Amino acid sequence: MPYLQAPAATSMSINWISETDEPGTISLSGPGLGKSGKQSSAPQYLDLMEYTRAELDQQIEGLEQGSWLKSNSNYKHSVTFQGLLPGKSYNYTVTQSGETHSAAFKTAPKGGAWKNVRIIAFSDSETEPRGRTEHREWELSPVNGYTADSIQRPGAGSKWDQQFGMTTRNGEPTLRYPLDQSTAFNENLKHIEAADPDLVMMAGDLTQGSGYQPAWDELFGHVAGEHSDLASSVPLLPALGNWETYAALNGGYGTETDLDPGSHFPPAGFGIPVGKDRATRL
What is the smallest separation between the CB atom of 215 and Fe ion, expressed in angstroms? 13
Tell me the three state secondary structure of residue 38. strand
First to last CA, the chain: 29
What is the smallest separation between the CB atom of 144 and Fe ion, expressed in angstroms? 17
Taking a C-beta distance cutoff of 8 angstroms, is the pair 108, 129 a contact? no
Nearer to Fe ion, 189 or 206 (CB): 206
Nearer to Fe ion, 24 or 241 (CB): 241
Nearer to Fe ion, 124 or 161 (CB): 124
What is the smallest separation between the CB atom of 32 and Fe ion, expressed in angstroms? 41
Element containing residue 199 per DSSP (H, E): strand 199-202
Size of site (CB under 5 A) for Fe ion: 3
What is the smallest separation between the CB atom of 241 and Fe ion, expressed in angstroms? 6
Nearer to Fe ion, 75 or 243 (CB): 243
Amino acid identity of residue 111, one-letter, is G
Nearer to Fe ion, 124 or 244 (CB): 124
Residues numbered 166-205 forming contacts with Fe ion, rule: CB under 5 A? 205
Nearest residue (beta carbon) to Fe ion:
205
Cα-to-chain-centroid distance, residue 230: 11
Taking a C-beta distance cutoff of 8 angstroms, is the pair 107, 7 a contact? yes
Amino acid identity of residue 14, one-letter, is I
Taking a C-beta distance cutoff of 8 angstroms, is the pair 137, 231 a contact? no
Give the span between the Cα atoms of 96 and 40, in whole angstroms.
10
Does residue number 124 form part of the binding site for Fe ion (CB under 5 A)? yes
Element containing residue 159 per DSSP (H, E): helix 159-164
Residues numbered 200-229 forming contacts with Fe ion, rule: CB under 5 A? 205
Beta bridge pairs of residue 106 = 89
Q: Given candidates 42, 239, 240, 282, which one binds Fe ion under the rule CB under 5 A? A: 282
Does residue number 244 form part of the binding site for Fe ion (CB under 5 A)? no
Tell me the three state secondary structure of residue 201. strand
Choices 123-131, 146-154, 166-174, 262-270 (CB under 5 A): range interacting with Fe ion: 123-131
Give the span between the Cα atoms of 37 and 25, in whole angstroms.
10
Does residue number 128 form part of the binding site for Fe ion (CB under 5 A)? no
What is the smallest separation between the CB atom of 245 and Fe ion, expressed in angstroms? 12
What is the smallest separation between the CB atom of 126 and Fe ion, expressed in angstroms? 6
Which spans of this chain sit near Fe ion (rule: CB under 5 A)?
Answer: 124, 205, 282
